[in-house]
Amino acid sequence: MRTDRLPPPSLRLDLDAEALAGNWRALDRLSGNASAGAAVKANAYGLGVEAVVPVLHEAGCRDFFVAHWGEVAGVLDHVPPQQLSVLHGPITGEDVAYALATGVRPVLNSLFQARLWLDSGGGPCDLMVDSGINRLGLPVDALGDPLVARLEIDTLLSHLASADEDSPQNARQLSRFSQACALIPARRRSFANSAGITLGNDYAFDLTRPGLSLYGGIPRDELAGSIRQVARPHAAIIQLRQLSPGDSVGYNAVFTAERAMTVGVVSLGYADGFLRCWSGKGALRHGDTSLPLLGRVSMDMVVVDLTAAPGLAEGDWLEVPYALPEAAKKSGLSQYELLTLLGQRYSR
């Protein structure tokens, strides 16, 4: 076995645990009489389950949601199984066996999944009803099927498609889900995501399921005063370079220096979630100093203009501005993509 000590990475992702806990408390308060859960799928939206889940649990969260069975073990290191649901549900006998062995609840999405669960002995489960998003969920015309009546449903769920907009679809979905609630006995009902929490108490039911806004995302303006930035990526300068007039930078020479200038090559690229769409847009920062990006983003590197910070050297850290609404406007990426694209090379 190798005993070499790995040097620290040249990328780090700072997680503001106080902001994360505060965001959950704000969303829980905005949920009214409902409790707020937490979507922690996709490795807690890219920020790391091991860092996120303990903070949320300590803040008071008692309902967690992942998408895949492969995400279960990491969450169970921090919370009891009865607090965890798996949104994609079982599609094989192995999935059912794993659910029964771990004690987590499957979210059943179809009559096929309901039969698979019941044929294996069943037990407490969640049930997703499709109220109009046409992704996962039991169709409305299947709600009266005898299989549904046999289920021991803890939480009846549905999912809003356009809660980030003032869309008439929101009210249509609410009506359909309310009809499903009247037909199907369940211990709790859950409908609203982060944006849905702002739509009012009618959408809250018993349990809300925020995701994006826990991590600093603001899908609707109503949340702007309540949600704080959680993730702050940083990258190290790995080389200083002196450019002469006429020198070009990076792929396809899209930037050419018009004067002598000092630039920094920074350990950050699209393998780290900083995609080529950032090319020619925005800047990295050192304290209050803005350092414009030069040329194209590549897989592992960007180049920045260090004119405004002549004292920087190799090994110094730069912050990647990552307030999600502003970063989304500059990059053209969604706030979800900005988080979940963050790669594995950051120390967290």
Residues 56-90 have pLDDT tens digits of 999 999 999 999 999 999 999 999 999 999 999 99
pLDDT digits (tens, 9 = 90+) for 240-282: 999 999 999 999 999 999 999 999 999 999 999 999 999 988 8
pLDDT at res. 134: 96
pLDDT at res. 2: 65
- Concerning whether 251 is annotated as a catalytic residue, the answer is yes
**DSSP-based helix, strand, coil % in the chain, nearest 5:** 35, 20, 45
d(C-alpha 207, C-alpha 283), whole Å: 40
d(C-alpha 278, C-alpha 154), whole Å: 44
- Concerning whether 41 is annotated as a catalytic residue, the answer is yes
* Catalytic annotation, pick one of 251, 281, 329, 330: 251
Domains and CATH numbers, the chain: 17-223 (3.20.20.10), 232-340 (2.40.37.10)
User: Long-range contacts made by residues 73-77, C-beta under 8 angstroms, separation at least 24?
Assistant: 74/43, 74/49, 74/50, 75/40, 75/49, 76/102, 76/104, 77/50
pLDDT at res. 1: 60
Give the CA angle between residues 226, 203, 329 to the nearest 5°.
45
d(C-alpha 156, C-alpha 271), whole Å: 38
d(C-alpha 133, C-alpha 141), whole Å: 15
d(C-alpha 282, C-alpha 188), whole Å: 45
Q: What is the mean pLDDT of residues 212-216?
A: 98
- Contacts of 119 by beta carbon, 8 Å cutoff, 6+ apart: none
pTM over 0.85: yes
Higher-scoring residue by pLDDT: 159, 2: 159
